[in-house]
Structure 1
Amino acid sequence: MRKFLWDESVTGRQSAWDHFDLAWMKDTYPEICELFGPDASLSFDEILLLAGTCGYQPNPYFDEAYYVRRYADVRHAINQGQFVSGFDHYRRSGCRDRNPHWLFCEEYYLRENGDVARSLANETEFRNGYDHYIQCGDEEFRSGSWFFDPLKYIKSATETGIKSPFRHYLFHPKNVFDNLYFDRVWYAETYPEICLEVKKGSWHSLLHQYLSNINNNTYDPSRYFSERFYIESNPDLVPPVASGQFISGYEHFLLYGIRERRRPRADIDLERFYHHPYVQKLFLNGRVPDVFIAWCRFDGIVPNVQDLLEQEEAATKFSFEKKSAALAINAARSRLDFSCTQPDISIIVVLHNNFDMTLNALTALRSSHRRDIQLIIVDSGSYDETCHIEHYVKGATLLRFGGNVAFIRACNEAVRHAQTPFLLFLNNDTEIQLGSIQVAIERLRRDPKVGAIGGKMVRSNGLLQEAGAVIYRDGSVAGYMRGASPDVPEANFVRRVDFCSGAALFTRTELFKNLGGFDEEYIPAYYEETDYCVKIWKSGHEVIYDPSIMTIHYEYGSSNIKDGTGYINRNRKIFNSKHADFLSKKFVKSKLNTGTARSVKNLVSKRILFIEDRVPLKCYGSGFSRSHDIVTTMSEMGHEVTVFPIFKPVVSSTRLYNAFPDSVEIIWDRDINDLEKFFSERSGFYDILWICRTQNVRRLVPIIEKISHLMPSVRIVADTEAVSAVREEQYDQLVGTPEDKRPTLSERVCAEVECLLIATKIVAVSRHDADFLTDYGFTDVSVLGHVQTPKRTAKRWTERTDILFVGAIHDENSPNYDSLIWLVKVLWPALEGVLPDNARLLIAGHLGPRVTIAAFPQSPKVIYIGELDDLTSLYDSARFFIAPTRYAAGIPYKLYEAAAYGLPIIASDILCQSMDWEIGEEILQAKTGNLKNFYDVIIAAYHDHALWTKLRRNGLNRIMRDNTEYKYKKYIGEILG
């Protein structure tokens, strides 16, 4: 029986790795039995001394030789007699930030498992990440290292039923497995001498040798990484690698270098490769863990997916036909049911032969909308199995013509039988997608101006046929973004368009009848939907493109391209003769005009290009919440807004679309390097260029000067968001930078605001900042703060005990990070013993990719929550909101949000001064960085019910007076002019 010996006086807590497994040691090191006998029972101290003296592992989970070899300071401490062994060091202090085994990285584990990091920070039963990994994570198939994929290990193992892959490997260390970050085959071919060492038993495996050996630039893990190049290119890594902070340059690369897109080898440019749209999509969809693995997988060469799909369209059409044939068989066995009592919409499908494809279209239609549909089928002289369509479909209205009366006349006749206010004309060579019909119905019900709606038309090869369509001055037409990927930004926002394809076109029944239906001069087909949409525009209604409506279209499935071309040429002349007045106002046909011609301008709205550091999600804080509200408000006002980020997003594009109104165009696949080309492609399109943050104005000045001739009439709004010079001055004062070692405030401000001279309008976040800018010579500075809707939380004063801190922490240099550290390390320890036992400090907010909760200081009753989509429950449980900011610029969004939730605020004076709220009546003020003053203010307020009630009431009243949506729209309208 194995003995587990614990020394709780040292650890304070038992951990899964913190024991001596004497039976395992005797099996692994037989000489123990020779020295002490097979039945020897040794004390804890004896085993600890033995392990340290002989370099023995105390148990399979801790590798003594690796630990001592890796950390130079540990070797030195052992030599000095401070610790008996590496295990002794790890138990006493190393467990906080050292790696106990060559196949586990504490930092990697906590970064990849945010729930574990949060759990550790909030004082759970686990001592560190490794403790969690052994007790829980291994059984949950989590990975503790880049080099150990648990599922791949299970697949490679000869045994079955492995429940804890890492533990299994520790007891079977000679098992060989592959992983993405270490090329075992290449390594063996490159370093044959290591193979000999493995055979001799010096190492368990090639990976064991690589990760355990202090290689001094000798070994590379694959042909895609050069240790020597990486160290020489990053000389700052020499000391931390030498000290064992990183076992190699490769470990630094895996932890930080990949995210920073440093070069792993002289001829590998990860920065360039990362920006390839296909690579980004792979990364954001989780199909590759990072850009380095993407490079390895493709050997640095990404296939041109769109070219491949274009070349394979014939094959994809055959595939479409095969699937249609299979679905036809299914329909033969189970009729499609379109029986209805109260249909939402009348859907007209015109047929002329092509039975298999028809059944495919009707199957997709039935699946896309489970509510009642009035299906009107018009059989226009079919002679294939379509003649018996009623055997395969029930509940439809069926109209039959003896001959082929053509699509146009068939549709007009079918509309006579429509029983609903809405129509959908649908080709029988389409597959309309789930949710599309409901989206169209809701838009038609919601907006009476909308006369017709079309959606994203995708060809059988997966590329766009169109995302709305353009009419040029000569009457020619073009599908916008044809041949592009369906996920491109340009195809994924709602806009007004010239027309949409008749292959799937929604409209109003009464409007269709009033406008005379499809003009039969265009019989048999082509240009009839173009003509109809132009008549809609002339009637005062609008034609809308909505990307949430999506249809797969087997192009020319119901006709042939040769006949189609002939009809198009003929009918274009008819169209031109009917709509010369309309065409005279359209753009001349040119590829350079496509970006401008793609949408029909609303004469009472503006086209706005909004530039921000990143696509502004509210959860990012740091001014992004305000930017999000500005974009959303402008869109709700009817303006056409394009968001262009200086830096590409690091989140999935789907998350971005979920966060904004559907009419906002989000350029998620480009950054500042693409901005000049973007301006050129959209020459003359925008009325307003809104640049958020002064540093971005500075970045854009040379670009604007270079392309100003392309937008001579555009108005440039410089939204300062905050005066950064003030924050920099406060920071220098905080850290004690001598005055003669730093610029004066005046010098800082002048350097910051000089770039604003390029703007036609300057915006500040507060009257305080506006006055500041005015003092430096800028006139007529507009103020645009924060918008809030009061949402008073329900709990009474007696039900609230917590103090809440909310703030985004993008990196360790952010003001919120400084606030948090001061709050937890300095202020909270003083408060904790005085506040009631059930009082907690709650900390919530977005964390940047380089910030982990595990690095935050731990304290009893401090709860780290991280990012939440909805903070209502936190605002409802807290008695006060605290903002102990020690250096800042602008006004934090979180203060207005807290007040809107009815939560009284205690903030540092540097924040209160910029808010212009009445101290003691609407907000409580404490001296910045002053422990005693903050303590006194909090303790006095915490127990004062009357004060709490007054602050709550007055804060809400201030929000309702100054920060309503109505006023926000008014302010934005004045800025836009």
Structure 2
Amino acid sequence: MPFSLTDAQFRLARALGLSRRAWSSLRTRGWQQTWQRVVLRLQRTLRRAPTDAIPLWRPPHSADQALPTFVEAERAPVASIVIPVHNHLGHTLECLRALAAAPPEATMEIIVVDDASSDDTAALLPRIAGLRYHRHERNGGFIAACNTGAALARGEVLVFLNNDTVPQPGWLDALLRTLREVPRAGIVGAQLVYPDGRLQEAGGVVFRDGQAWNYGRFESPDDPRYGYLRDADYISGAALAIPRALFDAVGGFDTRYAPAYYEDTDLAFAVRAAGHRVLYQPGARVLHDEGTSAGTDPSTGMKAAQARNREVFALHRRQELAAFPPADELPGPGTLHRGQRRILIVDESTPRPDHDSGSLRLVALMRMLLEEGAHVAFVPADGRHAGRYTRELQATGVETWSEPWTGGIAHWLRRHTTRFDVAMLSRHFVAAPLLPLLRRHAPRLRVLFDSVDLHYLRERRAAELAGDAAMLAIARRTRSRELAVVAAADATLVVSPAERELLAADAPGARVELLSNLHRLSARTAAWEQRHGVVFVGGFHHPPNVDAMRWFLTGVWPRIRAQAPMLDFHCIGSDPPDDLRAHHGRDGVQVHGHVADIAPWMDGCRVAVAPLRFGAGVKGKINLSMAHGQPVVATTVAAEGMHLHDGQDVLLADDADAFAQAVLRAHEDADAWSRLAAGGRANVERHFSVDAARETVRRLFLAAD
């Protein structure tokens, strides 16, 4: 690949940035914690997800080849799986064994429509317990068999499934979850893979002349281009889910395409015309032995109907097809997302929203952009596949990249940047080396710098608290670099009014916009009498949190326990240092580390604390507690820029005695607790909700230049 001077400058800037961050970490955390962070990062890098051909599951074969059995639902099932068959009994049995061996969470019924098979299908399938079997005496073709099965179905959702498939575990729940959770979802289709593990189809593409294209054919199913939920032009009828009411409303599979081919494509167009979306869900993976029934030669047999039906389809849908791309344009992400506002986001690593508030904010922002109809791509600067966090982003519809597919972020930007309208770079040490690359490869791109929090402000406060002249010098150098990024970006995002005021003085010519934390209020909150105990939430890779807990556990908590000896304190957050772990089990302290689900503590503890003595930005831990109706006791620094008022929606205290008394008051006074809980929720709704940020997001990301 070509290597430019800009690429060399990027790599040099990246290396220098890493060395500066390492030196800063040594000063603020000490060598032991810095070394632990280096080891942890190396371990995560070595645990990158495999990118070779995926291991495909097949149902186990019993020695006696016993027939599968199914449990009939007592009531109408959630899903009715319709399997049209014509001969090929061996394939049908393997498909049925797969369904029986890995059943979904949802209730289902299996309907096999035998389209006049001449093999042993009619003799064997009626013997399968729990299977609904229906036979056509004359062969009517795929469309007729599917429509018959739909008419027999009792489920809320119809799932059409070819008999030459092996659905992978979890496939049906992924389809149903998408229909349930994605607004206006009308059709959801699976990722189809060949028996050798290569990709067969990642949603279909349709061209202006009516030709259809299996997007991703023969590529790797692990390629990020094919790994995220997205709208598709059509979904293959080999594995397709649709609400039964919608299928009936659009008239089912159109018989003008009988016996088969283009009926699934036309169904997608009918569903879109009815105001619904047609979605490809890679989380639903289905092995498909393509061509078992109809072969693969388009000139003979039933396959010959494909060419004829293309002309029928092109004539029937000629008005809609006029807006589609010509057949000479090779499909890619740029083609797929035509007509959408396309947003690129780069951060240091893939967000982990259950670990830190910055990740929670970023994921909420991406979800909001998707809700607004934009296409969002995310590239982590470290290139690492983050396991379930990467997959969860993809499942929401974010085009999420990782190595080796990027080929290095500089290479990726050179190839892809021109297809985006807006790019947001998070954190100054990520943005500084990338900005020149963006300006080089896409000079008209709108570039936003998301500060996350102003690092130089946090570093300066830490240095002043510690009285460390070397740390203060580091903060001054960070200030120069951070302000240089502010000056180079088209706009800078900050999370608090205090930081916006600071930049008004330090970078008076820059455009600075407020985009704070983004939270959704908990639907239900527990009452005062249903709660007990005190909680702190915060990851311990963040130095302000480490300092806060050391101060609280040694200076504040002993004062609280002296007056309330039965009170418990829960410390939650990833990677607590050894000196904090040493408090576990003593004096009512529980040091939990990272927990997968924080809701039990948000809804079960009576009071949250934010005893930070330095820092910057807006504290997600405060927003999170208040969104759950949990009052917060905080320091002035922790509450900075959060529109909070002492005694109304928060209790503020900065010395150990006052902080302890505030915790006891919030915990024991039911009236004060109720007032603070209501005030905190109102504060989040007013200043830190998704709706509160919507106008700013639309202006920065979605408005054309």
**For the superposition of Structure 1 and Structure 2, which TM-score range results when normalised by the shorter chain?**
0.7 to 0.9
Q: Does 1:959 align with 2:684?
A: yes
Match of 1:163 in 2: none
How far is 1:845 from its partner? 1.1
Q: Does 1:407 align with 2:145?
A: no
Distance in 1 of aligned mates of 2:534 and 2:77? 54
Match of 2:547 in 1: 818
Q: Does 1:472 align with 2:207?
A: yes
Is the CA contact (8 Å cut-off) linking 2:538 and 2:621 kept in structure 1? yes
Name the larger-Rg structure: 1
Match of 1:847 in 2: 575
AA partner of residue 527 (structure 2)? A
Could you tell me which runs of 5 or more consecutive residues in structure 2 were left unpaired when the two chains were aligned.
1-34
Distance in 2 of aligned mates of 1:344 and 1:495? 24
How far is 1:499 from its partner? 0.9
Match of 2:84 in 1: 350
How far is 1:458 from its partner? 2.2
Distance in 2 of aligned mates of 1:674 and 1:556? 38
Q: Deviations over 1:50-96 (max 9, x none)?
A: xxxxxxxxxxxxxxxxxxxxxxxxxxxxxxxxxxxxxxxxxxxxxxx
Match of 1:733 in 2: 464
Q: Does 1:696 align with 2:430?
A: yes
Match of 1:719 in 2: 450
Distance in 2 of aligned mates of 1:873 and 1:536? 41
Q: Does 1:363 align with 2:363?
A: no
Distance in 2 of aligned mates of 1:449 and 1:834? 57
Distance in 2 of aligned mates of 1:335 and 1:823? 60
TM-score (norm 1): 0.59
Is the CA contact (8 Å cut-off) linking 1:648 and 1:671 kept in structure 2? no
Pair 677,590 (structure 1): closer, same or farther in 2 beyond 3 Å: farther
Pair 756,949 (structure 1): closer, same or farther in 2 beyond 3 Å: same
Give secondary structure in 1 for the equivalent of 2:166.
strand
Pair 873,468 (structure 1): closer, same or farther in 2 beyond 3 Å: closer
Match of 1:708 in 2: 442
Distance in 1 of aligned mates of 2:363 and 2:251? 44
Match of 1:938 in 2: 660
AA partner of residue 751 (structure 1)? R
- Counterpart mapping for 1:127-526 below 5 A: 280-281=48-49, 305-306=52-53, 329-331=65-67, 342=76, 344-366=78-100, 368=103, 371-373=107-109, 375-380=111-116, 382-389=117-124, 391-393=126-128, 396-402=132-138, 404-412=139-147, 422-437=157-172, 439-440=174-175, 444=179, 449-473=184-208, 475-507=210-242, 512=247, 517-518=252-253, 522=257, 524-526=259-261
Q: Deviations over 1:493-538 (max 9, x none)?
A: 3221011112122345565566565455655543332243234434
AA partner of residue 895 (structure 1)? I
Is the CA contact (8 Å cut-off) linking 1:440 and 1:506 kept in structure 2? yes
Coordinate RMSD, CA, aligned: 4.3
Give secondary structure in 2 for the equivalent of 1:618.
coil
Equivalent position to 2:335, from 583, 594, 597: 597
Pair 478,633 (structure 1): closer, same or farther in 2 beyond 3 Å: same
- Counterpart mapping for 1:445-844 below 5 A: 449-473=184-208, 475-507=210-242, 512=247, 517-518=252-253, 522=257, 524-563=259-298, 567=304, 568-569=306-307, 571-589=309-327, 593-598=331-336, 606-621=341-356, 623-649=358-384, 651=386, 653-658=387-392, 662-669=396-403, 674-679=408-413, 682=416, 684-708=418-442, 712=444, 714-738=445-469, 742=473, 749-775=479-505, 776-778=507-509, 781-786=512-517, 787-789=519-521, 792-796=525-529, 800=532, 802-810=533-541, 814-828=543-557, 831=559, 834-844=562-572
Is the CA contact (8 Å cut-off) linking 1:424 and 1:504 kept in structure 2? yes
Is the CA contact (8 Å cut-off) linking 1:623 and 1:892 kept in structure 2? no
Q: Deviations over 1:387-434 (max 9, x none)?
A: 4355434653523244x5433454456556556665333222112345
Pair 521,501 (structure 1): closer, same or farther in 2 beyond 3 Å: same
Distance in 2 of aligned mates of 1:899 and 1:974? 28
How far is 1:809 from its partner? 0.8
Matched residues, number: 657
Q: Deviations over 1:813-836 (max 9, x none)?
A: x2212222333345555x267433
AA partner of residue 377 (structure 2)? T
Distance in 1 of aligned mates of 2:658 and 2:277? 62
Q: Deviations over 1:101-138 (max 9, x none)?
A: xxxxxxxxxxxxxxxxxxxxxxxxxxxxxxxxxxxxxx
Q: Deviations over 1:294-331 (max 9, x none)?
A: xxxxxxxxxx944x99xxxxxx9xx98xx899799422
Match of 2:626 in 1: 899
Pair 396,869 (structure 1): closer, same or farther in 2 beyond 3 Å: closer
How far is 1:385 from its partner? 1.5
Distance in 1 of aligned mates of 2:71 and 2:569? 59
Pair 343,666 (structure 1): closer, same or farther in 2 beyond 3 Å: same
The percent identity for this pair of structures is 24
Pair 678,659 (structure 1): closer, same or farther in 2 beyond 3 Å: closer
Is the CA contact (8 Å cut-off) linking 2:569 and 2:589 kept in structure 1? yes
Q: Deviations over 1:784-809 (max 9, x none)?
A: 22225156443349x85x55332211
Give secondary structure in 1 for the equivalent of 2:616.
coil
TM-score (norm 2): 0.79
Is the CA contact (8 Å cut-off) linking 1:622 and 1:808 kept in structure 2? no
Pair 872,573 (structure 1): closer, same or farther in 2 beyond 3 Å: closer
How far is 1:890 from its partner? 0.6
How far is 1:951 from its partner? 4.1
How far is 1:880 from its partner? 4.7
How far is 1:888 from its partner? 0.9
Is the CA contact (8 Å cut-off) linking 1:765 and 1:891 kept in structure 2? yes
How far is 1:574 from its partner? 4.7
Give secondary structure in 1 for the equivalent of 2:563.
coil
Is the CA contact (8 Å cut-off) linking 2:406 and 2:412 kept in structure 1? no
Match of 1:51 in 2: none
Match of 1:225 in 2: none
How far is 1:377 from its partner? 0.9
Q: Which has the higher contact order (CA 8 A, sep 6+)?
A: 2
AA partner of residue 87 (structure 2)? N
Distance in 1 of aligned mates of 2:679 and 2:60? 66
Could you tell me which runs of 5 or more consecutive residues in structure 1 were left unpaired when the two chains were aligned.
1-253, 262-269, 283-303, 310-315, 928-932
Give secondary structure in 1 for the equivalent of 2:76.
coil
Is the CA contact (8 Å cut-off) linking 1:610 and 1:644 kept in structure 2? yes
Distance in 2 of aligned mates of 1:571 and 1:540? 25
Match of 1:887 in 2: 614
Distance in 2 of aligned mates of 1:280 and 1:544? 28
How far is 1:752 from its partner? 1.0
AA partner of residue 92 (structure 2)? T
How far is 1:466 from its partner? 1.5
Distance in 1 of aligned mates of 2:540 and 2:606? 23
How far is 1:767 from its partner? 1.2
Is the CA contact (8 Å cut-off) linking 1:922 and 1:952 kept in structure 2? yes
How far is 1:721 from its partner? 1.8
Is the CA contact (8 Å cut-off) linking 1:350 and 1:411 kept in structure 2? yes
How far is 1:846 from its partner? 1.8
Give secondary structure in 1 for the equivalent of 2:484.
helix
Is the CA contact (8 Å cut-off) linking 1:324 and 1:360 kept in structure 2? no
How far is 1:950 from its partner? 4.9
Give secondary structure in 1 for the equivalent of 2:548.
helix
Pair 819,672 (structure 1): closer, same or farther in 2 beyond 3 Å: farther
Give secondary structure in 2 for the equivalent of 1:914.
coil
How far is 1:894 from its partner? 0.9
Distance in 1 of aligned mates of 2:500 and 2:401? 31
